[in-house]
Structure 1
């Protein structure tokens, strides 16, 4: 069987969840069946260095998304691409238009990773996106909740949607923990008798670090604890002011973006996700794989699905600092046996998201899409 060429299109291989998902798929894709080609705009991304050497990586000579349509169309035709895979609505639209303009036999598969919409204006935009998706062969949703949203707001038929959870590269996480080290400037945070609570994510409204900080301020007087916040964002100054106002600045550490956050997770006593909403909650799956207990808001659809309604981690009410503080205290007060049991359950859940297994589901969708094309050609 001749290998099928799959073109993966994304804005850039930056530090976001979409790029991480693409990275995990292309690295694990079966090379006996598929030949992956990665295409981005003309940007440098932090995940580029993690791409396997056999992946053909092409950067278009533009930094504008709209300007990518024509050169991407030419590339699809030149490379004789069989499938074009993309993720996130704006990139998906560009990928579909480029494929149509390529006048080739290639097919589009698009992925939806977020629970979007809610306002009249955004819902109208999603209706337009859904209409464009008629020209794709398949829509992949990263959770059941996102699928329901695609049906309701995009008006995409249910039978066209396949749910595939985010792939987590457990092997890479384990290597990062084994070979990585806490930065010298940060070792004192983890070396003492304090219990360390950690979180990771962009410092933006949707992540609701404000509630986490307030919850921590409630826990800290009861337990000797520290809070480590990994990530960067527009709210950093505001959050630091909140910490100062609560008089907990000696116990809270803003460490910025970490290329290897997993070794930090593994050395912490608790991971907390305070988000208002998550399409999947990729960082939760990764945290489970590091062997750290979890407290998360019951943000739908992602966190609730990843933790299976609280089976693999404690869930608390969104935006409720008192409830979050109570759940944090409960986990930090577990006996050793209770803690190990929680960790082991979490590791078993993480294995269900292993990239090697999740990518098999992507491969099956790719094969089905190509088989449909063969059947159409045969009938004609």
Structure 2
């Protein structure tokens, strides 16, 4: 008789595996858990958009079509059957959870009798629990665990929704993969700072452009590279044209490998309205590129040590952003100190360490 322990079967459920930090985290967690001998990882995505590397068995329900039947009802039915057939030990849910009716379907039918871990990756909690707190407490009262990606998010979950079973597990970083990708050749023959992300209003790239243009960076021939795409792209291009800054602000399309762009930058800027646990800061520091970031409510304090691996400034103060960008360029001693500390400062977020947090939770 074999003494081998039965494998824990884990199902990850999300919208897709492309485009943003939430989706990259789902892909990363599949890699972390599937590398353990006693774990068997499955993934289900509801939309047909696969770009990030993942590990495990994938069911892509996004290929079913676009009619109401195939888009909603059939997907939910097949997901329910998939769960029943495989008898998963745990389900980790990465979805936004805005629609109350859909959440009744998931919590009371699709996930019925399952151990479900709900992951919350934004300080805007309403995107994960619906606006009505009483309904949210009813919907998720049987959750096995609720995982916030930052200490602030976990505290707010406990305070606003009274979920006592909330814990914190940060995002992890794959140092080996990033080192491999950031060494790919890149032909940009100018100095620049960089901002990376989907062009959405909450990223506030429009205000970043204005702050950059007020700074001394352009006078020193240091350009601003915006890496990404999205609904705000036309507006951002128009702002650049109106300010006759086409030679100063460079738009680069979304890149599946942003790391070589980040590595060559002087520093990376984060000026979002809010975040959860910003992967882009971890990724920049892993590329040994220091950061300038607002001190957001969630996540940034756990990553950025002010004047040690970057600069952390008053939240939403764009005048201070201009001043700190100037300081990082003009104070070479400070800049080099921060740059030298980047890589070592985030070792606690390694895949190995974060994987152990998930293993301890599941076990």
Taking the TM superposition and a 5 Å limit, the aligned residue runs for 1:87-102 are 87-90=94-97, 97-98=105-106, 101=109
The root-mean-square deviation of aligned C-alpha atoms, in Å, is 2.6
More helix by share: 1
| Residues 272, 296 of structure 1: 8 Å contact kept | yes
Match of 1:20 among 8, 21, 24: 24
What count of residue pairs does the alignment treat as equivalent? 349
Closer/same/farther in 2, CA of residues 82 and 95 from structure 1, 3 Å limit? farther
In structure 1, stretches of 5+ residues that fail to align are 368-380
Give the structure 2 partner of residue 191 of structure 1: 189
CA distance in 2: counterparts of 1:294 and 1:74, whole angstroms: 46
Closer/same/farther in 2, CA of residues 151 and 309 from structure 1, 3 Å limit? farther
Per the TM alignment, residue 350 of structure 1 is displaced from its structure 2 partner at its CA by 2.4
Taking the TM superposition and a 5 Å limit, the aligned residue runs for 1:82-231 are 82-90=89-97, 97-98=105-106, 101=109, 106-117=114-125, 124-157=131-164, 160-178=165-183, 180-182=184-186, 187=187, 190-192=188-190, 195-219=191-215, 220-231=217-228
Closer/same/farther in 2, CA of residues 36 and 270 from structure 1, 3 Å limit? same
Give runs of ≥4 in structure 1 deviating > 4 Å.
91-100, 102-105, 308-311
Give the structure 1 partner of residue 59 of structure 2: 58
Give the structure 2 partner of residue 343 of structure 1: 339
- Tell which deviates more after alignment, 302-311 or 246-255: 302-311
CA distance in 1: counterparts of 2:200 and 2:111, whole angstroms: 41
Closer/same/farther in 2, CA of residues 126 and 291 from structure 1, 3 Å limit? farther
Per the TM alignment, residue 105 of structure 1 is displaced from its structure 2 partner at its CA by 5.5
Which TM-score applies when normalising by structure 1?
0.84
| Residues 211, 319 of structure 1: 8 Å contact kept | no
Matched, 1:277 2:277: no
Per the TM alignment, residue 224 of structure 1 is displaced from its structure 2 partner at its CA by 2.1
What's the secondary structure of 2:342's corresponding residue? helix
CA distance in 1: counterparts of 2:96 and 2:137, whole angstroms: 9
CA distance in 1: counterparts of 2:222 and 2:80, whole angstroms: 54
Per the TM alignment, residue 289 of structure 1 is displaced from its structure 2 partner at its CA by 0.4
Per the TM alignment, residue 312 of structure 1 is displaced from its structure 2 partner at its CA by 2.9
Which TM-score applies when normalising by structure 2?
0.88
What's the secondary structure of 1:8's corresponding residue? strand
| Residues 107, 140 of structure 2: 8 Å contact kept | no
1:67-94 CA distance string (max 9 Å, x none): 5333222111111211111123429986
| Residues 123, 153 of structure 1: 8 Å contact kept | no
What's the secondary structure of 1:64's corresponding residue? helix
Matched, 1:237 2:234: yes
In structure 2, stretches of 5+ residues that fail to align are none
CA distance in 2: counterparts of 1:354 and 1:117, whole angstroms: 26
| Residues 307, 338 of structure 2: 8 Å contact kept | no
Closer/same/farther in 2, CA of residues 127 and 104 from structure 1, 3 Å limit? closer
